[in-house]
Structure 1
Amino acid sequence: MLVLSLALFAVKAFALVDCLTRAPARFAVADTLPKSSWLVILGLTLAAHLVLWSPLSLLNLVGTVAALVYLAQLRGSRV
């Protein structure tokens, strides 16, 4: 469980750092939520993971899905 929790934490942290470094115009081109919305969502999911370290808690699973959606939309787009 510790390895799974660390891996999911790393995914969320990577998504947050990627969001911080990505230009705001890229969000409009990718036709997704604005950068500020993604920063709030990803920041809250990372904070929740620190508080509720169990990787199988509902809040952590929702946060992982949010991070994966962000990565699929912004990192997966070729814009």
Structure 2
Amino acid sequence: MALYQWILTVIWLAGIPVGVFAFVHAALQRADAFTAVDKLNKLAWVGITGAAALLLIVSYQGPYGIIWIAGLVAALVYIVDVRPRLKEIQRRSW
């Protein structure tokens, strides 16, 4: 197995818990927080992160197909962009 295949395998395996975390986090948040931070609604993000986690878990081609990359990118967008804004809005005292 070539070096790049090992690297892709490690990234793929590390991406599985990232996708699951993004899905669980999105599912546990308040629905009004998503609209308060001008993002898609909760149902959309739960669907996106759920599909991302599913793509990462059931990627039958393993790290050699490219479809799992879309799932990893979707999960990372949620974690890097949406999650911090949700945390910020939910800490405020109304």
Q: TM-score, normalised by structure 1?
A: 0.83
Aligned pairs for 1:1-79 (under 5 A) are 1=6, 2-52=9-59, 54-55=62-63, 57-77=65-85, 78-79=88-89
Whether contact under 8 Å (2:19, 2:49) holds in the other structure is: yes
Q: Which has the higher contact order (CA 8 A, sep 6+)?
A: 1
Query: How many Å separate the matches in 1 of 2:79 and 2:64?
Result: 20
Match of 2:92 in 1: none
Q: Hey, what's the Cα distance between the residues in 1 that align with 2:14 and 2:49?
A: 16
- CA drift of 1:32 comes to 0.8
For 1:30, the aligned partner's letter is: V
User: Sequence identity, in percent?
Assistant: 30
Q: By how many angstroms is 1:66 displaced?
A: 0.7
Query: Which one-letter code corresponds to 2:79 in the other structure?
Result: L
**What's the CA shift for 1:74?**
2.3
Distance 1:6 1:30, change over 3 A: same
Q: TM-score, normalised by structure 2?
A: 0.72
The alignment of Structure 1 onto Structure 2 pairs a total of residues equal to 79
- The structure with the largest alpha-carbon Rg is 2
